[in-house]
Amino acid sequence: MVAESNAEKRKAAVQAEEPQEISIERKLVALYTLQQIDSQIDRIRIIRGELPLEVQDLEDEIAGLETRTEKFNNEISALKQLISEKQLAIKDSQGLIKRYEEQQQNVRNNREYDSLSKEIEFQTLEIQLSEKRIREYNAKIEDFAKEISDAERRLEERRGDLAVKKAELQSIVEETEKEEHDLIAKSKASEDVVEDRLVMAYKRIRNNARNGLAVVQIERDACGGCFNKIPPQHQLDIRMHKKVIVCEYCGRILIDQDIVTKYHSEA
């Protein structure tokens, strides 16, 4: 009985010693778990964040092409208006020429005849000038029409792309919202394993890190976050799991392969 009791006491003493060690190890596993979950949430948000930008870019491009088409259509209308004005001017000149030619039949002298001839010549030149302008306007209309058809072809393509992107975005949002919701719940559960002070530190490190990594593994004797070499003694301390150790360069929490393995066996 006494021997048993001593054995119990020893067992109790070991248990009293162990919980602290296990607790640090558990905390490290929990922090690594938290990191894995949060990184997954980051990835989801990045994917979801990029698609709306792509949709926005397409919408902007479509709006630009529509404005362009409208502008060219307005130009064409203005040119058509100018052409009909020139056509009216030609008709007027033709009318005048006809009248001058009739007047020439009834002139009293050469001077009057020559004067009318000059008027006819002037109106003929006016007609030629108007015809030249009409040809120029028609050439411009042709150019604009080509621009419009190019813009419309691109518009059709972009509208197709937009429909695809929007559908993609919607399905990603639907798919990931539930996933994100579950991950956030898991993240909170992992936070509960660790004391608030450590969670706060974790969040602060994560916010400051560009890649959102606050817990990193030692890789080839270096910090997995900033890649600075970790001194051997420091590495030994990390492997002991006796306390939470941060990188002296970047401040990230360092863990060894053992913690990663434990995380995988628990997952």
Applying CB under 5 A, which residues contact Zn ion? 223, 225-226, 247, 249-250
Q: How far is CA 193 from the centre of its chain?
A: 37
Q: In whole angstroms, what is the distance from residue 26 CA to residue 39 CA?
A: 20
DSSP assignment, residue 211?
T
Q: Which is nearer to Zn ion, 122 or 249 (CB)?
A: 249
Closest CA to 43 of 146, 179, 154: 179
- Cβ neighbours of 88 (radius 10 Å): 11
Closest distance of CB 255 from Zn ion, Å = 12
Closest distance of CB 26 from Zn ion, Å = 23
Residues 6+ apart with CB under 8 A from 154: 65
DSSP assignment, residue 146?
H
At 26, list the tokens: 């558990």
Q: Which is nearer to Zn ion, 21 or 248 (CB)?
A: 248
Closest distance of CB 40 from Zn ion, Å = 22
Closest distance of CB 260 from Zn ion, Å = 17
Closest distance of CB 229 from Zn ion, Å = 10
What are the backbone dihedrals phi and psi of residue 85, each rounded to the nearest 5 degrees, phi first?
Answer: -65, -45
Q: Which is nearer to Zn ion, 70 or 219 (CB)?
A: 219
Closest distance of CB 182 from Zn ion, Å = 31
DSSP assignment, residue 223?
E
Q: Which is nearer to Zn ion, 229 or 264 (CB)?
A: 229
DSSP assignment, residue 252?
P
At 85, list the tokens: 């004005």
Q: Which is nearer to Zn ion, 190 or 225 (CB)?
A: 225
Q: Which is nearer to Zn ion, 64 or 251 (CB)?
A: 251
Q: In whole angstroms, what is the distance from residue 190 CA to residue 81 CA?
A: 74
Relative to beta strand 215-219, strand 222-223 is antiparallel
Q: In whole angstroms, what is the distance from residue 152 CA to residue 12 CA?
A: 82
Q: Which is nearer to Zn ion, 223 or 259 (CB)?
A: 223
Place of tokens 């409208």: 70
Closest distance of CB 202 from Zn ion, Å = 15
